[in-house]
């Protein structure tokens, strides 16, 4: 994860925690992590997991804002929210299959691209996302992507 992105995500997580008037201890408990892990997330030292983000979403944290930097409370419908969770789940499953897990910056960028595609087309194509991720993993760095 790039240091800048980690700090941005951590900063947005802290903003959300303060918006909800929660302490680091309380949000950590809601997310199923220790106080030191919560501090690490907010300081940008560690990458929050999808499981953690799903749990803190239940406490009211706008995880779309935390991860993508857009305010889901004003921009996303409940259907959009479900799509974001589906996309992040597909990316998390893909990341776990790799020997070297991709950075949070890479995962956030992929989520943003897939969500933008959904917004542009109105269609969710999980199998296409999986195929794209598989291609990204197997293709040499200088290989152009397949035509859509």
Task: Provide the whole-model pTM.
Answer: 0.51
Exposure string over 93-124, b if 16+ CB within 10 A, otherwise e? ebbeeeeeebebbbbbebbbebbebbeeeeeb
Q: Is 11 left (phi over 0), alpha (psi -120 to 50) or beta?
A: alpha
148 residues of the chain, pLDDT tens digit each: 556 666 788 899 999 999 899 999 999 999 999 999 999 999 988 888 888 998 999 888 988 888 888 765 456 677 888 888 889 889 988 888 888 878 777 888 888 888 888 888 888 888 988 888 888 766 555 555 555 5
CB 115 within 8 A of CB 68: yes
- The answer to whether 52 touches 33, Cβ cutoff 8 Å, is yes
């Amino acid at each position: 994860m790039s240091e800048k992105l980690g700090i941005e995500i951590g900063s947005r997580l802290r903003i959300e925690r303060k918006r909800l008037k929660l302490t680091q201890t309380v949000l950590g408990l809601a997310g199923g992590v220790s106080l030191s892990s919560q501090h690490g997330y907010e300081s940008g030292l560690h990458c929050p997991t999808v499981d953690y983000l799903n749990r803190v979403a239940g406490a009211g944290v706008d995880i779309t804002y935390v991860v993508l930097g857009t305010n889901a409370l004003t921009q996303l419908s409940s259907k959009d929210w479900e799509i974001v969770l589906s996309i992040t789940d597909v990316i998390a499953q893909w990341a776990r299959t790799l020997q070297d897990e991709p950075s949070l910056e890479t995962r956030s960028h992929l989520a943003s691209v897939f969500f933008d595609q959904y917004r542009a087309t109105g269609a969710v194509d999980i199998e296409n996302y999986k195929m794209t991720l598989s291609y990204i993993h197997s293709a040499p760095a200088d290989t152009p992507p397949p035509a859509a």
